[in-house]
Copies of this chain bind each other. A is one copy, B any other.
Amino acid sequence: MDPEPRREQLLNAADRVIQREGPGASMNAIAAEAGITKPILYRHFGDRNGLIRALTERHTGGLLAAVRAALAEPLERRDRVEHVLDTYLAGIESRPQVYRLLTHPEPGDPSGAGNALAPALRQIAGEITRAVAGQVDLGADRELLAEVWGRAITGMVLAAGDWWLESRPCSRTRMVQALADLLWGRLAAAADLPTAALPAGPAPTAEPSDRPTG
Q: Which residues of A contact B (CB under 8 A)?
A: 49, 71-72, 77-78, 104-105, 107, 109-112, 114-115, 121-123, 125-127, 130-138, 141, 143-145, 147-149, 151-160, 162-164, 169-170, 174-175, 178-179, 181-194, 196, 198, 200, 203, 205-206, 208, 210
A144 / chain B contacts, CB cutoff of 8 Å: 169-170, 174, 178
The closest CB in chain B to the CB of A167 belongs to B147
What are the residues of chain B within 8 A of A121 when measuring CB–CB?
159
Q: Are A137 and B182 in contact (CB under 8 A)?
A: no
Q: Which B residues lie within 8 Å of A78 (CB)?
A: 188
A27 to chain B, nearest CB (A): 14
Number of copies: 2
The answer to whether A152 and B160 have CB atoms under 8 Å apart is: yes
Please state if A159 and B155 are interface contacts (CB–CB under 8 Å).
yes
- A152 and B184 contacting across the interface, CB-CB below 8 Å: no
Contact partner of A137 among B127, B148, B159, B192, CB < 8 A? Answer: B192
- What's the least CB distance linking A26 to chain B, in Å? 13
Q: Is the CB of B187 within 8 A of A136?
A: yes
List 13 contacting pairs A-B, 8 Å CB cutoff, sorted by A: A77-B192, A109-B111, A130-B203, A134-B193, A136-B192, A137-B191, A148-B160, A148-B164, A155-B160, A156-B156, A158-B159, A185-B185, A185-B189
Among residues of B, the one whose C-beta sits closest to the C-beta of A47 is B108
What is the chain B residue whose CB lies nearest that of A148?
Answer: B178
**Contact indicator A143/B210 (Cβ below 8 Å):** yes
Contacts of A196 in B (CB 8 A): 135
A198 nearest CB neighbor, chain B only: B134
The answer to whether B192 touches A49, judged by C-beta atoms less than 8 angstroms apart, is no
- A175 neighbours in B (Cβ, 8 Å): 148
Q: Which residue of B lies closest to A180 (CB)?
A: B188
Is the Cβ of B123 less than 8 Å from the Cβ of A112? no
